[in-house]
Amino acid sequence: MEVKYRKSQGLTDKKLSYCPGCTHGIVHKLVAESLEELGVLGKSVGVASVGCSVFSYEFFNCDMQQAPHGRACAEATGIKRVLPNNVVFTYQGDGDLASIGIAETIHAANRGENITVIFINNAIYGMTGGQMAPTTLEGQRTTTSQDGRNHLIHGNPIKISEIFSQIEGAAYVERVSVYNPKQLMKAKKAIKKAFTYQVEKRGFTLIEVLSSCPVNWGMTPPDALKWIEEKMTPVFPMGVFKDSGEAHE
């Protein structure tokens, strides 16, 4: 018999610090597998953010830096500018990227920083206890929108991929999900393509992954995946929002 699927070399042996059924783990695998398959693990530098994925510096089997809340893209800029031939990526949640760190992220994109951003959108703040995220859906109950998000009070869910599609320096922006194996395979393709673009020095790449938070959503892991498909995808449609396809240099 031959091995068809095994744990990626791009992950350490450390047990993930995510809740049972949280799709952070799935996206970690996709990133790790992409780096492993492209043969760039030994020159990769990841930037962990603040939020549930803060410990990702313990999980990705490459050099890592841990960034202040929202600053991952600034930190990645610093790394990439002095190590232009390394592969540099950030792994950020929706609070980190779409709220406190949106300036750093937009400007890194606008400068066309040759980095890859993995953006986990699960419509809620997981780590701090289920508060409203900038991506929380209208009507969604969180600990800081207890009667449901109301755009008149709380504003609207922010659409990162749509925004970044307008930015000159962004080479590739796609929104994917991992709610079933088919979507997962598309997500893997997108993430691998983003890293390929980086290796080819084409500029800024961002992959938004619609993810689950079964514990804070109050659902079983399989039900949480159904909720992504049924509730999130109408608000956050999947697809390629920008693909420059052109060489950057």
Partner 1 sequence: MAKVLMKGNEAIALAALKGGIDAFFGYPITPQNEIPEYLSKHLLAAGKVFVQAESEVAAINMVYGAAGAGARVMTSSSSPGIALKQEGISYIAGAELPCVIVSVMRGGPGLGGIQPSQADYYQATRGGGNGDYQLIVYAPETIQETIDTLKESFDIADYYRNPVLILVDGLIGQMMESVDFDKPIRKRFIPEKDYATTGTDHHPGRNIVNSHYLNPDELEQHNLHLQKKYQQIKNNETKFEMINMEQPDYVIVAYGTMSRIARSAIEMLEEQGIHVGMIRPITLWPYPRAAFDQIPKSCKGILCAEMSMGQMLDDVLISDRGRHDVAFFGRVGGIVPEPEEIVDAILHFQERVVK
Partner 2 sequence: MPKGKVTFDYEMCKGCGLCVAFCPQHILYQDKVDLNKSGYNIIKVNDPEKCIGCAFCAMMCPDSVITVEVNK
The entry of partner 1, partner 2, none near residue 97 (CB within 5 to 8 angstroms by kind) is none
Give the residue with the Cβ less far from partner 1, 22 or 41: 41
How many residues at the interface with partner 1, by CB under 8 A?
35
Told to check if 97 binds partner 1 by CB under 8 A, we report no
How many residues at the interface with partner 2, by CB under 8 A?
32
Min separation Cβ 78 and partner 1, Å: 3
Min separation Cβ 1 and partner 2, Å: 4
Q: Which stretch binds partner 2 (CB under 8 A): 73-81, 133-141, 192-200, 215-223?
A: 215-223
Among residues 3, 82, 152, 153, the one that binds partner 2 under rule CB under 8 A: 3
Among residues 42, 129, 155, 237, the one that binds partner 1 under rule CB under 8 A: 42
Min separation Cβ 200 and partner 2, Å: 27
**Any residues with CB less than 8 A from the CB of 40 and at least 6 apart, and which?**
87, 195, 199
Rounded Cα distance between 57 and 34, Å, is 17
Strands 87-93 and 44-48: parallel
- Cα distances from 236 to residues 10, 26, 61, 81, 189, in angstroms, run 29, 19, 31, 32, 19
Give the residue with the Cβ less far from partner 1, 12 or 233: 12
Strands 170-177 and 239-243: antiparallel
Print the binding letters for residues 52-91 with partner 2: x by CB under 8 A, - otherwise: ----------------------------------------
Min separation Cβ 31 and partner 2, Å: 13
Told to check if 225 binds partner 2 by CB under 8 A, we report yes
Around 238, how many Cα atoms within 13 Å sit in the side-chain half-sphere? 19
In terms of Cβ atoms closer than 10 Å to its own Cβ (0-12, 13-18, 19+), residue 210 is buried
Q: Locate all alpha helices (DSSP H) within 15-101, ordered by sequence.
A: 24-37, 56-59, 72-82, 94-95
Which tokens hold the place of 75? 């930190």
Rounded Cα distance between 187 and 30, Å, is 8
Min separation Cβ 19 and partner 2, Å: 8
Rounded Cα distance between 233 and 231, Å, is 6
- Cα distances from 240 to residues 10, 102, 173, 233, in angstroms, run 26, 20, 6, 14
Give the residue with the Cβ less far from partner 1, 64 or 235: 64
Told to check if 104 binds partner 1 by CB under 8 A, we report yes
In terms of Cβ atoms closer than 10 Å to its own Cβ (0-12, 13-18, 19+), residue 109 is buried
Residue ranges in contact with partner 1 by CB under 8 A: 12, 41-45, 47, 54, 57-58, 61-68, 71, 74-83, 86, 103-104, 106-107, 111
Residue ranges in contact with partner 2 by CB under 8 A: 1-8, 11, 15-16, 18-26, 28-29, 178, 180-181, 184-185, 214, 220-222, 225
